[in-house]
């Protein structure tokens, strides 16, 4: 029996939803969390805050849009733990508040590229980096933090801003999830996407109805799926819908 704790990497986890996911995962006895942030001081401060609650986590710098940073992180992870069991791709940006983001006709290509670089390409980069460590152990859980606003079924809904850069990037993230799931079929590496709901964070703002802990619930579920758990699905925020509900892509 393998007694080593599972190693969980959460991107962008010095604050917001990522912090809550890291905190909840770290409270599980058999999981060693690596809290990551591109801002070293804020990452170390987050680690200290958790340590103050007697929740130990490791910290390492990680900018998911940088090849060098991801390479350095992966080398460190390999040397320190020799494994990666859980990857939560949480880091994301959302330029929706910029006025030109209110229409596809005005959206700036530069903004769109930057949003795709963080919300889609960086997830591909992290996946390419950590998947070999998962494959070596025949175990992996990858959780991609998406949004219900990326559901193609909901593109015509009046409930959401048009937000083309953000929504299209998360459509891309969902597509990545589906392609990767196809490639991982028959392995014990499970990849799924989920929507945390509208959550109170710097991104979500103070009017959001959900706390970060509520938004982290589905991530916890997907990060700890059993071997026969879901593969390549897109899930809703559990609390809002009262259980594990798959969303239409």
In the complex, which residues of this chain contact ligand NAP (CB under 6 A)? Answer: 11-12, 14-18, 38-39, 62-65, 90-94, 118, 145, 147, 195-196, 198-199, 201-204, 208
d(CA 176, CA 55): 33
Based on CB atoms, which residue is closest to ligand NAP, 63 or 85? Answer: 63
The beta strand positions in 38-154, using DSSP E, are 58-61, 86-89, 140-145
CA pair distance 10, 221, nearest whole angstrom: 15
Shortest separation between residue 135's beta carbon and ligand NAP, angstroms = 24
Given a contact cutoff of 8 angstroms between Cβ atoms, the answer to whether 96 and 163 are in contact is yes
Between 18 and 140, CB nearer to ligand NAP: 18
DSSP 8-class letter at 95 = -
Closest to 92 in 3D by CA, of 199, 179, 183: 199
Contact yes or no for 141/86 (Cβ under 8 A): yes
Integer Cα distance of 203 and 201 in angstroms: 5
Q: Write out the two tokens for 96.
A: 């929706």
Q: Pick between residue 204 and residue 232 the one whose CB is nearest to ligand NAP.
A: 204
Is 166 catalytic? The answer is: yes
Rounded least distance, CB 188 to ligand NAP, Å = 25
From the candidates 81, 139, 166, 194, give the one annotated as an active-site residue.
166
| Cβ proximity to ligand NAP, 133 vs 145, nearer residue | 145
> What amino acid positions are annotated as catalytic residues?
166
């Amino acid at each position: 029996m393998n007694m080593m704790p599972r190693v969980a990497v959460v991107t962008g986890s010095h604050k917001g939803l990522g912090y809550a996911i890291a905190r909840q995962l770290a409270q599980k006895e058999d999981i060693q969390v690596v809290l990551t942030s591109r801002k070293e001081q804020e990452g170390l401060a987050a680690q200290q805050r958790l340590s103050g609650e007697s929740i130990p986590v490791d910290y390492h710098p990680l900018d998911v849009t940088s090849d060098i940073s991801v390479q350095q992180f992966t080398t460190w992870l390999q040397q320190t733990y020799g494994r990666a069991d859980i990857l939560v791709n949480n880091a994301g940006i959302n330029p929706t508040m910029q006025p030109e983001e209110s229409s596809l006709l005005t959206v700036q290509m530069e903004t769109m590229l930057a949003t795709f670089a963080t919300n889609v390409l960086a997830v591909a980069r992290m996946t390419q980096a950590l998947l070999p460590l998962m494959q070596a152990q025949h175990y992996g859980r990858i959780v991609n933090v998406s949004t219900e606003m990326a559901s193609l079924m909901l593109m015509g809904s009046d409930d959401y801003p048009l937000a083309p850069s953000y929504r299209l990037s998360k459509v891309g993230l969902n597509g990545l999830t589906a392609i990767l799931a196809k490639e991982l079929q028959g392995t014990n590496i499970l990849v799924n996407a989920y929507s945390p709901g509208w959550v109170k964070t710097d991104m979500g703002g103070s009017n959001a109805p959900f706390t970060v802990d509520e938004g982290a619930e589905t991530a916890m579920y997907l990060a700890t799926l059993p071997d026969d758990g879901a593969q390549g699905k897109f899930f809703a925020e559990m609390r809002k819908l009262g259980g594990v509900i798959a969303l239409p892509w």
